Amino acid sequence: MQRIPRMLSLFIFLIYSAALIGCGEGHKAAADDGSNAPVAAVVKVSRGNIADNLEIASEFEPFQEVDVYAKVSGYIKKLYVDYGTHVKQGQILAVLEIPELQQQLQQDQASIRRSDQELTRARDDLNRAQSAYNVAHLTYSRLADVQKSRPELISQEEIDVSKGKDLEADADVSAQKAALAAAEEALLAAKAALGKDQAMFDYARMTAPFDGVVTQIYAFTGALLPAGTASTSKGDSALCRLSQNDLLRLVIPVPERAVSNIQIGETVAVNVSGMDRTFEGKIIRFSDQIDMATRTMHTEVDVPNPKFQLVPGMYASVKIPLHAVAKVLTVPVQAFQAGNEGKGVVMVVGPGNKIERRDVTVGLQSASDVQITSGLQENESIIFGSLGQYRSGEIVTPKMVEPSRME
């Protein structure tokens, strides 16, 4: 009687085991069918343009910037500018009061009038001397002629006296000519002194040397501005600082490897991260010499700034194209695993959505794309991102995605 329950228990165990085996075979069949395959992001191999860009950060500088000094010492009588004032070339910045120069101008004008009067007197003296000479010379000539025709009428003493007066009058004419020349030179010197002092006095009107904006003010109305000299400390005696900001410079240190690719006049993209905008600039000048300390070349990019949207001191990054190829096979960098010596690996989704690990050869590489020179065909599907979580032969459910590419 006890054997019957044991046999019944054995029978139930066999039925349960068979059911488990059947369920396992069904799950395996479903897996092989691919209905439970994991979803994988894929992209198409396509043709496109790719460029290798050199990106260097720098900061904007004014195209030119100077401290405006006074040529002559004086007190600021009128001030026409302040921080942020935009001025044109030749516009008056300030007017200085220089009383000693005004007095000097009056003295120069008086000196000119005196020299002019002396010149007039010298001309009169010359005319008088010339008249006296004419009379003396005519008298001597007549007496000499009479003596030749009738010697008994004129004594030799009268002839000698007349000749002496003739020579004396001639010498007086020469002396008056020299005096006239000296008077003329004195007048020219007086006028030159007036011109010099007038030119110095004109510097009392301080003007802008170029179109720009006043970025610093060092002195105000009533302050004494000393004459600027080479030994003057910066800002100690200047009126203001003037910057030309309608055109800005970007000074970039180009690495030695990229020097051969720098072209004068080449247009480059200038990205200002603080404004989230990109401006157009041009490579205008470079030093044409490698700095031995940094192994870089001083290169300048000019960026027009007609609306003054950019301000000196802002940071910007310059993208300089070094190499570029067009209409080549490219894949996103997220779909590529780099190897050695221009090699790499991609995961191709082939027939039946089965993954194939494939070796490829690469060419030019940018921040977002890689050029494929061999190993792939156009329009093939490849895994995008996290290549390490997939293995060759695995079946996946592909989902096409659109990769974001960096400009």
Q: How many CA atoms are closer than 13 Å to the CA of 25, on its beta-carbon side?
A: 6
Residue 1: pLDDT band (50, 70, 90) is very low
pLDDT at 221: 94
- Give 70-88 pLDDT, tens digit per residue: 998 999 999 999 999 999 9
Among 384, 373, 248, 370, residue whose Cα is nearest residue 316: 248
- Asked whether residue 20 carries a pLDDT value surpassing 70, the answer given is no
Residue 230: pLDDT band (50, 70, 90) is low
Beta-sheet pairing, 355-365 with 315-332: unpaired
- Asked whether residue 29 carries a pLDDT value surpassing 50, the answer given is no
- Asked whether residue 8 carries a pLDDT value surpassing 70, the answer given is no
- Asked whether residue 150 carries a pLDDT value surpassing 50, the answer given is yes
User: In the chain, what are the domain boundaries?
Assistant: 39-50+325-400, 55-59+243-323, 69-97+204-241, 100-202
Q: Which fold has domain 39-50+325-400?
A: 2.40.420
- Asked whether residue 22 carries a pLDDT value surpassing 60, the answer given is no
- Asked whether residue 27 carries a pLDDT value surpassing 60, the answer given is no
Phi-psi sector, 209: left (phi>0), alpha (psi -120 to 50), beta? alpha
Looking up tokens 């310059």 gives 318
Average pLDDT over residues 219-241: 79
- Give 318-354 pLDDT, tens digit per residue: 988 877 788 899 999 888 888 888 899 999 999 989 9
**CA dist 276 to 251, 309, 310, 312, 321, Å?**
20, 12, 12, 16, 21
- Asked whether residue 3 carries a pLDDT value surpassing 60, the answer given is no
For the segment(s) 69-97+204-241, the CATH number from 2.40.50.100, 3.40.50.300, 1.10.12.10, 1.10.10.10 is 2.40.50.100
pLDDT averaged over every residue in the chain = 86
Quote the CA–CA distance of 259 and 289 in Å, as a whole number: 9
SS3 readout for the chain: CCHHHHHHHHHHHHHHHHHHHHHHHHHHHHHHHCCCCCEEEEEECEEEEEEEEEEEEEEEEEEEEEEEEECCCEEEEEECCCCCCEECCCCEEEEEECHHHHHHHHHHHHHHHHHHHHHHHHHHHHHHHHHHHHHHHHHHHHHHHHHHHCCCCCCHHHHHHHHHHHHHHHHHHHHHHHHHHHHHHHHHHHHHHHHHHHHHHHCCEEECCCCEEEEEECCCCCCEECECCCCCCCCCCEEEEEEEEEEEEEEEEEEHHHHHHCCCCCEEEEEECCCCEEEEEEEEEEEEEEECCCCEEEEEEEEECCCCCCCCCCEEEEEEEEEEEEEEEEEEHHHCEECCCCEEEEEEECHHHEEEEEEEEEEEECCCEEEEEECCCCCCEEECCCHHHCCCCCECEEEECCCCCCC
- Asked whether residue 15 carries a pLDDT value surpassing 90, the answer given is no
- Asked whether residue 21 carries a pLDDT value surpassing 50, the answer given is no
Quote the CA–CA distance of 101 and 73 in Å, as a whole number: 10
pLDDT at 190: 93
Q: How many CA atoms are closer than 13 Å to the CA of 132, on its beta-carbon side?
A: 17
Give me the architecture of the 55-59+243-323 domain, per CATH: Beta Barrel (2.40)
- Give 38-76 pLDDT, tens digit per residue: 888 999 999 988 877 788 999 999 999 999 999 989 999
Share of the chain above pLDDT 70, in %: 88
Average pLDDT over residues 273-300: 92
Query: Would the pTM of this model clear 0.85, i.e. be above it?
Result: no
- Asked whether residue 16 carries a pLDDT value surpassing 50, the answer given is no
* Under 8 Å between Cβ of 87 and 81: yes
Residue 154: pLDDT band (50, 70, 90) is confident
Tell me the β-bridge partners of 345.
337, 359
Residue 405: pLDDT band (50, 70, 90) is low
- Give 305-322 pLDDT, tens digit per residue: 999 999 999 999 998 887
